[in-house]
Structure 1
């Protein structure tokens, strides 16, 4: 009896995986559907579910394939996915391994354009508050473009025709291809480090969206925004719009239009100078006339015809003021003297010496205490009597106290 063969789970999963990968249809196919459960892992891999009305399919996109996408997938986006179906052996789940995907109904580049435009607008890179005024009369214009294209020839021709005095510095730059964005960022940095240009014209002639794609690069947009020198974006034709157009300080429909916007015709400048000259002559003439009239008016005043008269009047006023001050000072001194005499008299009247001059005596006990009552001294105490012109030392032989107007004697 032949025993049945027993397989492991891993063997079965590996067998099914080989079946799926070797299938003619499943090994290379296009699938359309709506993205849901989208997740961008920190490793760079993308995971999402592709669904329609009848079912759902798990999808994975490895980092090397995801890095080549010009846009970021989003939930709800209708896409066509190119890839192959295989089995993830650890979970036994089959899934579609996407190698490339493209939005349905709209081009991949257009989706990337709209996503970057929305992102930079939210950061404020398009705000008018950050846009600088383009100089009207620059002395030097820096042109960042291909040195062999028609755009640079048109710019040079127009600048020379409008104002031959303006210098044009060409910074040869790639404006198409994979390395173009890096080259544009480098040229913008060089112009700013050079620092002699008043304005920058960045652009090229027309082309397809793919040809102009370097002007939709995020690094280029941020370099234009960071430029310390005003930038005019002149990319393609009038109907072409790029991210650079929104970030730049001014957009020109064509490179030729940019050259016109960056310069003022020399004849127009000469006319402006002539008008300014006439205006200055008129203003100076009016100012001189006004000054002459004012001078004549000043000359006609009495102070100019008889200058000493005003000086004499001032001297008289000074003398009169001096006399008034002297009189006022004398009166105040007299008032102060009278007040001083009054206070002196009051002080002398209140002085003990004045009382003593009338025969009164001030008695002081040996302790130094002033005696104001007979009761403060006793018979035998030594007392000093102060008179107007001296003092007397004496002992109390007897004392007598008066009470209620009657006399009592105590030995």
Structure 2
């Protein structure tokens, strides 16, 4: 391979000259830069930032005295969790190279982070990417919060500002909701383990239906306990819905990302968890008014149905009169049949007597007497049978009449009111007048009264 021609030489003759094309020179320079310098970390300020339609980023990285053109291609910049802008101070890792077509010296970047981003932030970003790939941040895994919690569990420091803010908001909005505090450290080496134990304790006791994990603001180091991988899995596996409010609104921890709901501050979390007691009271008043209105409508409807039933119900007098006439007809028919049987029996008896008178022999008389006795028995039996049949029929009709009789109605606790002078039955309010003399018929008698 031909060595790059970089050092100037003084040719002794035209034959000793080694001429290069511009392309060859740029290619040699590019090879030298990439092999001799390779990958570097550079800190500087972004200028001339362009996000091309292809997705590639083109920008310059500068300090007070110099600048270098940079390119960060799409398949690399898509892995970053922020979009840089003009004037941002950043740290870039890349390979020093040369763009041969224009001879521009440049940096082909493969990573970028905001300047001042330390090892903790790098570790956090890597863990976030890992847990996101594992599906811990998926919205499908989130649990729904109860609209009105029966009991709220709070996992936090019992002496911090966060618990004071939470209790103040809950007391103002809905003081009737019980609160259980699971005290833990919120920073330090043992804080993550204590928080994990608190979550597991709350789940095993099953004494609250929502949990709040919270603490006040702090640096990344102060909040690092809430970026613990084991804690993230514990929250994701918890059967109780969890709300997280860690630090200030600008702070974002893994605990908040994996929890079922993130709140900007401890106070905001308390607002999300507790219904406003004034709003609840208004809703209860509205429900009570609706219930009262519905009951009134039902009562009115039943009254209308009762009125229609009263209108359709016929007075029993006509029915009683019909049954009375029917019973009288039956009595008359029975009496007529009895008279006919008696007359028939008398006639037969007279015939027998005449025959006896005409036949003198005692034996004949004895036979006739026996015949007479037999006929008499038949007559009595026949008469008894007919009489029993009519008695049974009369008893059935009497029972039916008794069921329809106003006396039976009176025996069940009802009464019949009549005008004393006319004897008219009064069954409407409009039939009554002040000072009117009335008779109230009861099952065991009559009461005379006056309308006042």
Category of TM-score, reference length = shorter chain: 0.3 to 0.5
TM-score (norm 1): 0.47
Higher helix share: 2
TM-score (norm 2): 0.43
Higher strand share: 1
